[in-house]
Amino acid sequence: MRHFKRVVGLKLSRIVELIINSVLLAGLYATMAYGLGLIYGVLRIVNLAHGGVIMAGAYAGWYLHELGVDPYLSLVPVGVASFFLGVVMYRGLVYRLPRGAAGGVQSLLLLFGLWLILRNIAYLLFTGNDQTLRTGYSTKAVTLAGELVSVNRMAVFAVAILILIILHILLTQTYVGKAIRAVAQNPDSCTLVGIRVERIYSLTFGLGTALAAIAGLLGATLFPFNPGFGSSELLKSFVVVVLGGLGSVAGTAIAALILAVAEVFPTAIPGFPTYLTAAVGFVLLVLVLVLRPGGLFGQRVLG
């Protein structure tokens, strides 16, 4: 009750600050989650290597920055490279597994193994120490609605929104996008109308992987990371996917915002132990699974 009064007694400016923080964080979460949701929606496989790819993206951005490339410039090469990494992962490994219920456990375990390998590679290359990606503008801030807001965080948000808009256009307006959505709904019928389903699967896996790597790179400009980075990101992505339903861009965005609010607002409570923030996503996941197993917005398949 004491805490409650303090929360209610928050100054308006503090609330504005919390809202801005939540919205900016939500952009990153949405990008992160969309990759996972896309693969899950189309291939019905939970990409447990998602967290590993997020971590790999963070290190790729960090490494390129050490070579003198601005992290926002390296978005494109990292995105393209991880797209091909995803295609290779699909063609080389996932493709060989049985589909359907029997393949569920196997694909989980296989991709989990891949995650362990990625983690170990990062550990060997860059040691287990925390790294940070600091740019010249990391500490710059502008005033927005009376609050100081980091330029970098706004840039991350802008990139995330841009990516979501591009994805939305891709999925709704282009032939490939429509094919991806069709395969998500019914792969068998797609073969009948001449869609090369396997090619769509490769493409989707590549896209999902690229999104994860980009999210990792963006995240690296905000948070410190190490080879273990990505496990809580995987969980958060999954929370957003479950909350927002599969593949709906708007649903994903709203779900990401809900998660961000649930994480950011408790930090305003005096005496709230910060380590509990990590548990917020999980509690949300269980609540949603119990109360609305179909997601907040019902089941929708991509679009």
Partner 1 sequence: MKFRRPPWVKPRAVIGLLVVCAVLAIGPLLHSDVYIHNLLTLTFIGIAAALAWNWLGGYVGQVSFGHAAMFGVGGFVSAQLELKLGFPMLIAWVSGGVIAGLFSLIWGHPTLRLRGPYFSIATIGVGEATRLVGTYWDWFTGGSSGLSLPMHHNLKFTLYWYALGLAAIAMAMSYALRRSSVGLSLLAIKSDVDAASDVGVSATRLQDLVLFLSGAMIGVCGASYGSYFSYIEPGDMFGFDRSISWVLTGVIGGIGTIAGPALGAVIFVLLRQYLIASYPQLYLGLYGILLVLVILFEPLGLTGLAMRVLHRARPDLAVTGVAGED
Please give the residue ranges that form the binding site for partner 1 (CB under 8 A): 44, 46, 93, 96-98, 101-102, 104-106, 108-110, 112-117, 119-121, 123-124, 228, 231-232, 234-235, 238, 242, 273, 275-276, 278-279, 281-283, 285-286, 289-290, 293
- The nearest distance, CB 18 to partner 1, in angstroms, is 22
- The nearest distance, CB 278 to partner 1, in angstroms, is 5
Nearer to partner 1, 232 or 267 (CB): 232
Contact 38, 28 (CB under 8 A): no
- The nearest distance, CB 134 to partner 1, in angstroms, is 27
Nearer to partner 1, 165 or 283 (CB): 283
- The nearest distance, CB 158 to partner 1, in angstroms, is 30
**Chain centroid, CA 32 distance in Å:** 1
**Can you tell me the distance from the alpha carbon of 25 to that of 255, in angstroms, rounded to the nearest whole number?**
12
- The nearest distance, CB 257 to partner 1, in angstroms, is 20
Nearer to partner 1, 161 or 235 (CB): 235
- The nearest distance, CB 38 to partner 1, in angstroms, is 16
Nearer to partner 1, 48 or 180 (CB): 48
- The nearest distance, CB 120 to partner 1, in angstroms, is 3
Plot region of 100 (φ>0 → left; ψ -120 to 50 → alpha; else → beta): left
Nearer to partner 1, 36 or 203 (CB): 36
Nearer to partner 1, 44 or 300 (CB): 44
Nearer to partner 1, 102 or 162 (CB): 102
- Tell me the DSSP string of the chain: -HHHHHHHT--HHHHHHHHHHHHHHHHHHHHHHHHHHHHHHHH----TTHHHHHHHHHHHHHHHHHTT--TTTTHHHHHHHHHHHHHHHHHHTGGGSPPHHHHHHHHHHHHHHHHHHHHHHHHHHH-SS-B----TTTT-EEEETTEEEEHHHHHHHHHHHHHHHHHHHHHHHSHHHHHHHHHHH-HHHHHHTT--HHHHHHHHHHHHHHHHHHHHHHHHTTS-B-TTTTHHHHHHHHHHHHHH-BS-HHHHHHHHHHHHHHHHGGGGSTT--GGGHHHHHHHHHHHHHHH-TT-TT---B--
- The nearest distance, CB 165 to partner 1, in angstroms, is 28
**Can you tell me the distance from the alpha carbon of 203 to that of 214, in angstroms, rounded to the nearest whole number?**
16
**Chain centroid, CA 54 distance in Å:** 8
Nearer to partner 1, 119 or 153 (CB): 119
